[in-house]
Amino acid sequence: MEELLTGLKLNRKGVLTLVILTGVLLGLVLAVYLVGQRQIFQPKAYESIVQPVIISGSETSLSLKAPQEVQAGQEAAVVVYIHSDSDPSNLFAAKIKFPADLLKVEGFKTDRSFITNWASQSFDNSKGTITLIGGVPSPGVKTQAGEEGIIMAEIIFKAQAAGLVNLTLGDSAIFRNSDNANILTTKREASFESKEE
Protein backbone atom coordinates (compact mmCIF):
# COMPACT_ATOMS: atom_id res chain seq x y z
CA MET A 1 0.00 0.00 0.00
CA GLU A 2 2.81 2.33 0.92
CA GLU A 3 4.53 1.60 -2.39
CA LEU A 4 1.31 2.40 -4.29
CA LEU A 5 0.95 5.80 -2.54
CA THR A 6 4.58 6.63 -3.26
CA GLY A 7 4.05 5.71 -6.93
CA LEU A 8 0.96 7.97 -7.14
CA LYS A 9 2.88 10.90 -5.59
CA LEU A 10 5.65 10.49 -8.15
CA ASN A 11 3.11 10.30 -11.01
CA ARG A 12 1.43 13.52 -9.79
CA LYS A 13 4.78 15.28 -9.71
CA GLY A 14 5.53 14.04 -13.21
CA VAL A 15 2.16 15.21 -14.55
CA LEU A 16 2.52 18.57 -12.80
CA THR A 17 6.01 19.00 -14.23
CA LEU A 18 4.72 18.13 -17.71
CA VAL A 19 1.86 20.65 -17.42
CA ILE A 20 4.24 23.40 -16.28
CA LEU A 21 6.74 22.68 -19.08
CA THR A 22 3.93 22.68 -21.68
CA GLY A 23 2.66 26.04 -20.36
CA VAL A 24 6.15 27.57 -20.50
CA LEU A 25 6.66 26.26 -24.04
CA LEU A 26 3.30 27.66 -25.23
CA GLY A 27 4.13 31.00 -23.56
CA LEU A 28 7.45 31.18 -25.42
CA VAL A 29 5.79 30.39 -28.76
CA LEU A 30 3.15 33.09 -28.12
CA ALA A 31 5.82 35.64 -27.11
CA VAL A 32 7.84 34.98 -30.29
CA TYR A 33 4.70 35.38 -32.40
CA LEU A 34 3.70 38.68 -30.75
CA VAL A 35 7.19 40.13 -31.13
CA GLY A 36 7.02 39.30 -34.83
CA GLN A 37 3.68 41.15 -35.07
CA ARG A 38 4.95 44.55 -33.84
CA GLN A 39 2.07 46.50 -35.42
CA ILE A 40 -0.21 45.06 -32.70
CA PHE A 41 1.51 47.34 -30.19
CA GLN A 42 1.53 50.49 -32.34
CA PRO A 43 -1.22 53.07 -31.86
CA LYS A 44 -3.56 53.83 -34.77
CA ALA A 45 -2.00 57.27 -35.01
CA TYR A 46 1.05 55.70 -36.64
CA GLU A 47 -0.91 54.07 -39.47
CA SER A 48 -0.60 57.32 -41.41
CA ILE A 49 3.16 57.50 -41.05
CA VAL A 50 3.85 54.19 -42.82
CA GLN A 51 1.58 55.02 -45.78
CA PRO A 52 3.23 57.75 -47.86
CA VAL A 53 1.37 60.00 -50.27
CA ILE A 54 2.04 58.84 -53.84
CA ILE A 55 0.93 60.97 -56.80
CA SER A 56 0.42 59.34 -60.20
CA GLY A 57 0.85 62.48 -62.34
CA SER A 58 3.32 65.36 -62.23
CA GLU A 59 2.33 68.17 -59.85
CA THR A 60 3.45 70.52 -57.12
CA SER A 61 1.41 69.80 -54.02
CA LEU A 62 1.09 70.00 -50.28
CA SER A 63 -0.71 66.99 -48.72
CA LEU A 64 -1.89 66.11 -45.24
CA LYS A 65 -2.07 62.43 -44.27
CA ALA A 66 -4.07 61.57 -41.16
CA PRO A 67 -5.25 58.37 -39.46
CA GLN A 68 -8.80 57.23 -40.22
CA GLU A 69 -9.88 57.61 -36.61
CA VAL A 70 -8.54 58.28 -33.14
CA GLN A 71 -9.98 57.85 -29.66
CA ALA A 72 -10.63 61.00 -27.63
CA GLY A 73 -7.73 61.41 -25.19
CA GLN A 74 -5.22 59.75 -27.53
CA GLU A 75 -2.56 61.21 -29.80
CA ALA A 76 -2.81 61.34 -33.60
CA ALA A 77 0.13 61.96 -35.93
CA VAL A 78 -0.63 63.95 -39.09
CA VAL A 79 2.10 64.00 -41.73
CA VAL A 80 2.70 66.95 -44.08
CA TYR A 81 4.00 65.75 -47.48
CA ILE A 82 5.47 67.79 -50.33
CA HIS A 83 5.59 67.06 -54.07
CA SER A 84 7.59 69.33 -56.35
CA ASP A 85 7.68 67.39 -59.62
CA SER A 86 7.90 70.22 -62.16
CA ASP A 87 10.77 72.31 -60.75
CA PRO A 88 13.23 72.27 -57.85
CA SER A 89 11.84 74.23 -54.89
CA ASN A 90 13.62 75.68 -51.89
CA LEU A 91 11.03 77.35 -49.62
CA PHE A 92 7.88 75.73 -48.22
CA ALA A 93 5.05 77.24 -46.17
CA ALA A 94 2.17 75.21 -44.74
CA LYS A 95 -0.61 77.10 -42.93
CA ILE A 96 -2.98 74.58 -41.36
CA LYS A 97 -6.29 75.12 -39.57
CA PHE A 98 -7.85 72.62 -37.17
CA PRO A 99 -10.94 72.56 -34.90
CA ALA A 100 -9.67 73.86 -31.55
CA ASP A 101 -12.63 72.30 -29.70
CA LEU A 102 -11.69 68.80 -30.92
CA LEU A 103 -7.88 68.86 -31.08
CA LYS A 104 -4.84 70.43 -29.53
CA VAL A 105 -1.28 70.38 -30.83
CA GLU A 106 1.20 68.58 -28.58
CA GLY A 107 4.23 69.34 -30.76
CA PHE A 108 6.10 68.59 -33.98
CA LYS A 109 8.42 65.81 -35.10
CA THR A 110 10.95 66.80 -37.75
CA ASP A 111 13.51 63.99 -37.51
CA ARG A 112 12.37 62.60 -40.90
CA SER A 113 11.94 66.01 -42.52
CA PHE A 114 13.85 67.11 -45.62
CA ILE A 115 13.83 70.72 -44.33
CA THR A 116 17.27 71.90 -43.20
CA ASN A 117 16.43 75.48 -42.12
CA TRP A 118 13.26 76.26 -40.18
CA ALA A 119 11.84 79.80 -40.08
CA SER A 120 8.71 78.87 -38.12
CA GLN A 121 7.25 75.90 -36.28
CA SER A 122 4.39 77.49 -34.38
CA PHE A 123 0.83 76.76 -33.33
CA ASP A 124 -2.02 78.41 -31.46
CA ASN A 125 -4.34 75.91 -29.77
CA SER A 126 -6.91 78.58 -28.88
CA LYS A 127 -7.25 79.69 -32.53
CA GLY A 128 -6.68 76.27 -34.12
CA THR A 129 -3.79 77.36 -36.36
CA ILE A 130 -0.38 75.94 -37.30
CA THR A 131 2.41 77.62 -39.26
CA LEU A 132 5.29 75.60 -40.69
CA ILE A 133 7.84 77.48 -42.80
CA GLY A 134 11.18 76.02 -43.81
CA GLY A 135 13.65 75.76 -46.61
CA VAL A 136 16.64 74.02 -48.14
CA PRO A 137 19.72 75.48 -49.83
CA SER A 138 19.99 75.91 -53.60
CA PRO A 139 19.46 74.00 -55.89
CA GLY A 140 16.43 72.99 -53.80
CA VAL A 141 14.55 69.69 -53.94
CA LYS A 142 12.69 68.04 -56.80
CA THR A 143 10.49 64.97 -56.59
CA GLN A 144 9.52 62.52 -59.31
CA ALA A 145 5.97 61.86 -60.51
CA GLY A 146 4.73 58.48 -59.33
CA GLU A 147 7.03 58.41 -56.31
CA GLU A 148 6.14 59.04 -52.70
CA GLY A 149 6.10 62.58 -51.37
CA ILE A 150 8.79 63.84 -49.05
CA ILE A 151 8.01 64.61 -45.44
CA MET A 152 8.01 68.24 -44.34
CA ALA A 153 6.89 67.55 -40.74
CA GLU A 154 4.73 65.41 -38.49
CA ILE A 155 2.20 67.18 -36.29
CA ILE A 156 1.32 65.43 -33.05
CA PHE A 157 -2.26 66.21 -32.04
CA LYS A 158 -4.19 65.09 -28.98
CA ALA A 159 -7.90 64.46 -29.50
CA GLN A 160 -9.90 66.45 -26.97
CA ALA A 161 -13.46 65.40 -27.80
CA ALA A 162 -15.50 63.28 -30.20
CA GLY A 163 -16.44 64.63 -33.62
CA LEU A 164 -15.41 64.96 -37.27
CA VAL A 165 -11.99 66.62 -37.52
CA ASN A 166 -11.31 68.67 -40.67
CA LEU A 167 -7.75 69.81 -41.28
CA THR A 168 -7.54 72.56 -43.91
CA LEU A 169 -4.64 74.23 -45.70
CA GLY A 170 -4.85 78.01 -45.72
CA ASP A 171 -2.42 80.44 -47.33
CA SER A 172 0.30 77.89 -48.14
CA ALA A 173 3.05 77.99 -50.76
CA ILE A 174 5.91 76.15 -52.45
CA PHE A 175 8.50 78.50 -53.96
CA ARG A 176 10.54 77.62 -57.04
CA ASN A 177 14.29 77.75 -56.51
CA SER A 178 15.13 79.65 -59.72
CA ASP A 179 12.85 82.72 -59.32
CA ASN A 180 11.02 82.37 -55.96
CA ALA A 181 7.63 82.09 -57.71
CA ASN A 182 4.89 80.25 -55.84
CA ILE A 183 4.27 77.09 -57.87
CA LEU A 184 1.88 75.28 -55.49
CA THR A 185 -0.95 73.86 -57.62
CA THR A 186 -2.70 71.31 -55.38
CA LYS A 187 -3.66 71.18 -51.70
CA ARG A 188 -4.77 67.87 -50.25
CA GLU A 189 -6.51 68.36 -46.95
CA ALA A 190 -7.47 65.65 -44.47
CA SER A 191 -10.22 64.65 -42.11
CA PHE A 192 -10.70 61.91 -39.56
CA GLU A 193 -13.09 60.82 -36.85
CA SER A 194 -12.38 61.47 -33.19
CA LYS A 195 -14.40 58.92 -31.20
CA GLU A 196 -15.47 58.68 -27.59
CA GLU A 197 -13.21 56.61 -25.34
User: Are 121 and 158 part of one and the same domain?
Assistant: yes
Residues 59 and 31 in one domain: no
Per-residue pLDDT at 88? 96
Cβ contact 143:82 at 8 Å:
yes
What is the count of structural domains for the chain? 2
**Residue 22 and residue 77 in one domain:** no
Domain containing residue 133:
44-195
Here the CATH number for the domain that contains residue 123 is: 2.60.40.680
Distance CA(60)–CA(89), nearest Å, equals 9
Encode 53-77: b = buried (16+ Cβ within 10 Å), e = exposed.
Answer: bebeeebbbbbbbbbeebbeebbbb
Residues 6, 55 share a domain: no
Q: Are residues 55 and 137 in the same domain?
A: yes
Q: pLDDT, tens digit, for every residue of 24-51?
A: 545 444 444 444 443 334 444 444 444 5
DSSP notation for 40-66 = GGS-GGGGTTTS--B-SS--EEEEEE-
Same domain, 60 and 34: no
Per-residue pLDDT averaged across 88-100, rounded? 98
Q: Are residues 95 and 12 in the same domain?
A: no
Q: Work out the average pLDDT over 156-161.
A: 96
Indicate if 35 and 52 belong to the same structural domain: no
Q: Are residues 36 and 130 in the same domain?
A: no
Spatial contact of 40 and 30, defined as CB atoms under 8 Å apart: no
Q: Are 34 and 99 part of one and the same domain?
A: no
Q: How far apart are CA 6 and CA 45, in angstroms?
A: 60
Quick one: 163 and 74 in the same domain?
yes
- Can you give the C-alpha Rg of the chain in angstroms? 26
Q: How far apart are CA 69 and CA 71, in angstroms?
A: 7
Indicate the pTM of the whole model: 0.71
Output the pLDDT for position 197.
72
Shared-domain flag, residues 36 and 92: no
